[in-house]
Amino acid sequence: MALIIQKFGGTSVGSTEKIKAVAQRVLKNHQQGNRMVVVLSAMSGETDRLTGLALTMQHIPDQREMDMLLATGEQITVALFAMAIKDMGYDAVSLLGDQVAIRTDDMHTKARILSIDPTLINSHLDQGKIVVIAGFQGVTDSGDITTLGRGGSDTTAVALAAAMRADACEIFTDVEGVYTTDPNVCPQARKIDYISYDEMLELASLGAKVLDIRAVGLAKRFCVPVHVRSTFSENIGTWVVEEEKIMESMLVSGITYSKSEARITIRQVPDQPGIAAKVFLPISDAGILVDMIIQNTTDGRLTDMTFTVLRRDYDRAMEILQKVAAEIGAQRVTGDESIAKVSIVGVGMRNHPGIASTMFQILAKEGINMMMVSTSEIKVSCVIAEKYTELAVRALHDAFALDKENMPVETE
Ligand code: ADP
Ligand code: ASP
Ligand code: MG
């Protein structure tokens, strides 16, 4: 008897018909003798709708109350799903994060899971029930409801698989698996059969929202193989596994884009020790994450500092930096919210120089200007104007021949 965790995302449970279809699918696995634990997201669009409602009440919504509100999205789907199963003549029970006891820290709207108690889930499974758990939510030690951040239902599923030592962890979504790039942007995108945790971590951190980055981190830490696959077909999807288990690695395995960042430049800053700390300390104190940073010395005395922050933090960051600029004697602060970050990722890059320069050539050929660049062992990211995102993704996908399996790549 296998223990299977299956997570279904928002589009998979986006209507009552879809919930019934998913219930049928889960039931089939149950009838084959498996112990089924199902994790559900809110219906597609629901979390956005709830966020919109909150913003009509409070300019910057109280984070605790925000979690109370957002957690309701998943409560709806799990209850409806359990009803659907019962209507088919079988037994199911829906459970919220606090009922399971998915304990988290108290970082409202981006809480981390600390522990999961599988006792209640196991006792329901022992009684022959399908257990349906609300994704994306947990509870603090003081009893407050928390949520795990957007896309967090993936994390709930992987955390359950780790805590319960499940035999399988399947993430069902609206595409056939993890692709070489977003298939909704590039029709030539190819489904990847196997991808390493590290590559998936990079893809997720750079914008491939098909799997939440925290879910990948947990999967890696607890060695949980994750199968990402389609709700709407029976096809095998993508296995996210340890690198050693992958026979062949591609030079470049994926292209990602993110439109969620903004660029800020502080101009003509005195080029002295301690200035960077003066600029970035108030930013980090405000809980704002900084991604890429570039410093250009103009004449040895003055320098321009450019960096990126999440677009949702842009207004707050600009406000803080106007004050900082006045204090440190910088000339002015400028910003640009219409940027995108396009990245190429692949473990094969470790041993192959020249990938970054190929990327630059391809962008240049399309007449796309690069504003910033950052690299790591297995990725190269470029900041470009947002309007060129799709063009850049398709051109890179084409030039690195990602539509073809194991195609050798020209690096000169
Ligand atoms: P769910 O609601 O099931 O959690 P998400 O919308 O969070 O689904 O993630 C699936 C979406 O991720 C796809 O519809 C696709 O547009 C997008 N996506 C972005 N990059 C990739 C990629 N490399 N491979 C697959 N899908 C991707
Ligand atoms: N409902 C949440 C969201 O839309 C969590 C999830 O779907 O994973 O982000
Ligand atoms: Mg998702």
* pLDDT tens digits, one per residue of 26-65: 999 999 999 999 999 999 999 999 999 999 999 888 999 9
Cβ–ligand 1 distance for 150 under 6 Å, the answer no
pLDDT band at 406 (very low <50, low <70, confident <90, very high): low
Considering all CA atoms of the chain, what is the largest pairwise distance in Å, rounded to the nearest integer? Answer: 77
- Does residue 410 register a pLDDT over 90? no
Q: At what angle do helices 275-285 and 314-328 cross, to 10 degrees?
A: 150
**177 Cα to the center of ligand 3, angstroms:** 12
Percent of the chain topping pLDDT 70: 97
Q: Which of 163, 167, 170 is nearest to 102 (CA)?
A: 163
Give me the residue label for tokens 């629901």. 46
The predicted structure's pLDDT at residue 409: 40
Cβ–ligand 1 distance for 175 under 6 Å, the answer yes
Burial class of residue 132, CB neighbours in 10 A (0-12, 13-18, 19+): buried
pLDDT band at 301 (very low <50, low <70, confident <90, very high): confident
Mean pLDDT over residues 85-89, rounded? 98
Rounded to 5 degrees, φ, ψ at 201 are -60, -45
Ligand 1: which of 170, 182, 206, 232 to mutate, judged by most atoms within 8 Å of the beta carbon? 182
- Does residue 408 register a pLDDT over 70? no
Atom of ligand 2 nearest to the CA of 212: 8
- Does residue 359 register a pLDDT over 80? yes
**CA distances for 3 relative to 17, 31, 372, angstroms:** 26, 13, 47
The predicted structure's pLDDT at residue 21: 98
- Does residue 299 register a pLDDT over 90? no
- Does residue 244 register a pLDDT over 80? no
**39 Cα to the center of ligand 2, angstroms:** 11
Cβ–ligand 1 distance for 255 under 6 Å, the answer no
User: Which residues in 16-136 belong to E strands, given as ranges?
Assistant: 35-40, 92-95, 102-104, 113-116, 130-134
**151 Cα to the center of ligand 2, angstroms:** 4
Rounded to 5 degrees, φ, ψ at 403 are -75, -15
Ligand 1: which of 210, 255, 394 to mutate, judged by most atoms within 8 Å of the beta carbon? 210
The predicted structure's pLDDT at residue 412: 36
The predicted structure's pLDDT at residue 192: 94
The predicted structure's pLDDT at residue 297: 72
pLDDT band at 249 (very low <50, low <70, confident <90, very high): low
**CA distances for 385 relative to 8, 49, 137, 253, 313, angstroms:** 34, 29, 36, 24, 19
Ligand 3 ion: nearby residues, β-carbon < 5 Å? 9, 151
Cβ–ligand 1 distance for 179 under 6 Å, the answer yes
- Does residue 248 register a pLDDT over 70? no
pLDDT band at 411 (very low <50, low <70, confident <90, very high): very low
Mean pLDDT over residues 3-8, rounded? 98
Q: Phi-psi region for residue 384, left (φ > 0), alpha (ψ -120 to 50) or beta?
A: beta
Cα separation, 220 vs 197, in Å, equals: 6
**170 Cα to the center of ligand 1, angstroms:** 15
Rounded to 5 degrees, φ, ψ at 401 are 50, 45
The predicted structure's pLDDT at residue 74: 98
**195 Cα to the center of ligand 3, angstroms:** 18
Contacts of 223 (CB under 8 A, 6+ apart): 242
> What is the DSSP secondary-structure string of 113-162?
EEEE--HHHHHHHHTTPEEEEETTEEE-TTS-EEE--TTTHHHHHHHHHH
The predicted structure's pLDDT at residue 238: 97
Atom of ligand 1 nearest to the CA of 12: 3
- Quick: pLDDT tens for 200-233: 999 999 999 999 999 999 999 999 999 999 999 9
76 pairs with which residues across the strands? none
Ligand 2, CB cutoff 6 Å, lining residues: 9-10, 41-42, 47, 73, 135-136, 150-154
Give me the residue label for tokens 């390493």. 196
**207 Cα to the center of ligand 1, angstroms:** 10
Ligand 2: which of 78, 136, 228 to mutate, judged by most atoms within 8 Å of the beta carbon? 136
Ligand nearest to the CA of 148: 2
Mean of the per-residue pLDDT values of the chain? 93
403 or 12, greater pLDDT: 12
3-state secondary structure of 70: helix
Radius of gyration of the chain (CA): 23
pLDDT band at 12 (very low <50, low <70, confident <90, very high): very high
- Does residue 300 register a pLDDT over 80? no
The predicted structure's pLDDT at residue 219: 98
CB 115 within 8 A of CB 103: yes
Cα separation, 296 vs 303, in Å, equals: 5
Q: Which of 317, 305, 312 is nearest to 372 (CA)?
A: 305
DSSP class of residue 291 equals E
378 or 78, greater pLDDT: 78
What amino acid is encoded at 147 in this protein? T
- Quick: pLDDT tens for 169-207: 999 999 999 999 999 999 999 999 999 999 999 999 999
CA 185 to chain CA centroid, nearest Å: 17
Contacts of 312 (CB under 8 A, 6+ apart): 260
- Quick: pLDDT tens for 266-295: 999 988 889 889 999 999 998 888 999 998
Mean pLDDT over residues 103-132, rounded? 97
The predicted structure's pLDDT at residue 350: 81
